[in-house]
Amino acid sequence: MNKYILLLLIVISAVAYNIFVANNNNRVLKVGIECDHIPYNWEESINTESNFELKDSPGLYVEGYDAQMASIIAKKLGMTAEFHKISFDELIDALNRREIDVIFSGMFDTDEHKALINFTVPYESRVVEYAMLVHRKSEYANARRLQDFSGAKVAAQNNSHFDEVIDQIDGVKHMPALTNQAAILIQLTELNIDATVVNYDSALSYERTHPELKAIRFRKNEGFVLGFTGLCAGVRKSDKTLLDNMNNAIKSIPMRDRQRVMDRVVGRAFAHE
């Protein structure tokens, strides 16, 4: 009997999803995105075949994994993604003020975030892992374990999970958080800080675009304890139908296809720099 109930629920879910797509055909899905986190999202001033116009930001465009996946998922919902540039620490407020419909901006479903909004299932191309980004001239360039950074000056982006996990390093010198990744990279390249915390995919991109920097990947069980599911889209708590249908759309995208999207944007990020 349970098997038939499960089958019925799957059929009902599929029908609801198809009705949602039909009813939302040609509608706009307003996407909040930061535009400051290679390879997930960054800003460009030249229109290309792959990037997207930023609404209310004339002459500027957004590129990156978040933007590409948002566009793919919107199309699966019968909608068109419309991108709005918003600073990371303003995204959740903008969502709850109904200025945007969803967040696709390198955001994780941490407990702090989940208290304010709902999250989809992860849309990333692989399991998220954190890495450290250091200068090749740094004394920490050969670090292998998290605790090798004891005594290091480490900074991360303001109001981000990257900043929260720094204190997992015993004896670390937790520097004041900075407003964006660009500011952090300047501090790192000028050796004013020893390291910053980023996604491993981002670390690889920065390593390619800034040859003086080096990504430090930790061995299993020797890195940060993350405490979240993964890279997810944010949705208002009241928008349960949108959440359900976005989950169905995300689940329909095979991991190999997601990885192809990531591979392409990493190549474009390198060319962009």
273 residues of the chain, pLDDT tens digit each = 455 554 555 545 554 445 444 444 459 999 999 998 889 999 999 999 999 999 989 999 999 999 999 999 999 999 999 999 999 999 999 999 999 999 999 999 999 999 999 999 999 988 889 999 999 999 999 999 999 999 999 999 988 899 999 999 999 999 999 988 889 999 999 999 999 999 998 898 899 889 999 999 998 888 999 989 999 999 999 999 999 999 999 999 999 999 999 999 988 886 665
Q: Cβ(157)–Cβ(89) under 8 Å?
A: no
* Per-residue pLDDT at 272: 62
Residue type, 99: E
* Per-residue pLDDT at 18: 53
For residue 44, the SS3 value is strand
C-alpha span between 144 and 171 (Å, rounded): 16
